[in-house]
Amino acid sequence: MDPAPIDKSATIFVAGHRGLVGSAVVRKLKSLCYTNLLLRTHAELDLTSQSSVDAFFASHKPHYVILAAAKVGGIHANNTYPADFITINLQIQTNVISSAFKHNTRKLLFLGSSCIYPKFAPQPIPESALLTGPLEPTNEWYAIAKISGIKMCQAFRIQHSFDAISAMPTNLYGPNDNFHPENSHVLPALLRRFHEAKVNNVEKVIVWGSGMPLREFLHVDDLADAVVFLLENYSDMEHVNVGSGEGGNH
């Protein structure tokens, strides 16, 4: 399936537009003069409600969908709320992907997470590492939901020739991140701890972990560049990693 040029006036639904990724994608699309963005807050559209999502798609029939909406959090949040992480994310993905196909969306881009890969995947992680080993136990509920999203996109492509693609970003940071003291990801959590230590004249900061894992970080605006590029240029089965391809420092 060859990618088709996107008209700047095409209707694009950015699900999760107020989050870290969604807000960056909206900034990028606006900078490129895309003029017809469909944006809904959670209060306006509950993506976990199948009937609400279907009614939205039936009414607005977006030409393109960027699925950046998800329940996200760091290790502590994943450990504390595993049922929420698997249930809510599966609901969002199933509702949006199936309604997009049903109401003739031209193309859908699903955003996953690097945690989909096995705990002991080779570094840097290739796309082929997916489903080759056990997941990291602390966030496997979220990972399984995201893997299901990839496979759902592939299944709709195989059975219905629906142009659904998936992108897997590495660890992200940037504007509109979640800086919650316990439920945030590693980089915003570290930024908050160091900032508060500086403000309060604290001599040392305690950081979780052994210090041995490698981390790769990507600014969310760079991800947004990749998202729009893939939307405009990529159409295939395999999910696409988005990152530098190099592990970070300890």
Residue 156 lies in a domain: yes
The secondary structure element, H or E, covering residue 172 is: strand 171-173
Task: With respect to residue 184, please indicate whether it lies within any of the assigned structural domains.
Answer: no
Q: Which two tokens stand for residue 81?
A: 């709320």
Catalytic residue among 34, 64, 117, 142: 142
* Residue 161 belongs to some domain of the structure: yes
The whole-number pLDDT of residue 191 equals: 87
Number of folded domains that form the chain: 1
Instruction: Determine the Cα–Cα distance for residues 215 and 5; give it in Å rounded to an integer.
Output: 36
**pLDDT per residue over 109-119, tens digit each?**
999 998 999 99
Q: At what angle do helices 140-160 and 82-102 cross, to 10 degrees?
A: 20
Nearest-CA neighbor of 11 among 103, 112, 102? Answer: 103
Q: Within a domain: residue 48?
A: yes
Q: What is the CATH number of the domain that holds 59?
A: 3.40.50.720
Sequential pLDDT tens for the chain (250 residues): 666 679 999 999 999 999 999 999 999 999 999 999 999 999 999 999 999 999 999 999 999 999 999 998 877 888 899 999 999 999 999 999 999 999 999 999 999 998 999 999 998 899 999 999 999 999 999 999 999 999 999 999 999 999 999 999 998 899 888 777 766 677 888 888 899 999 999 999 988 778 777 778 999 999 999 999 999 999 999 999 999 876 554 4
Question: CA triplet 228, 234, 239: central angle to 5 degrees?
Answer: 95
173 is catalytic: no
- Which pLDDT does position 1 carry in this prediction? 61
Indicate the average pLDDT of the chain.
Answer: 92
C-alpha–C-alpha distance, residues 151 and 178, integer Å:
28
Domain residue limits at 238:
12-177+217-242
Rounded distance, CA 106 to CA 65, Å? 8
- Tokens 């080779």 appear where? 122
What is the rounded CA–CA span in Å between residue 215 and residue 248? 5
Q: Is residue 61 part of a domain?
A: yes
Going by the DSSP 8-state scheme, the letter that residue 245 receives in this structure is S
- Whether 193 is in a domain gets the answer no
Give the residue carrying structure tokens 């809904």: 40
Note whether residue 249 is domain-resident. Answer: no
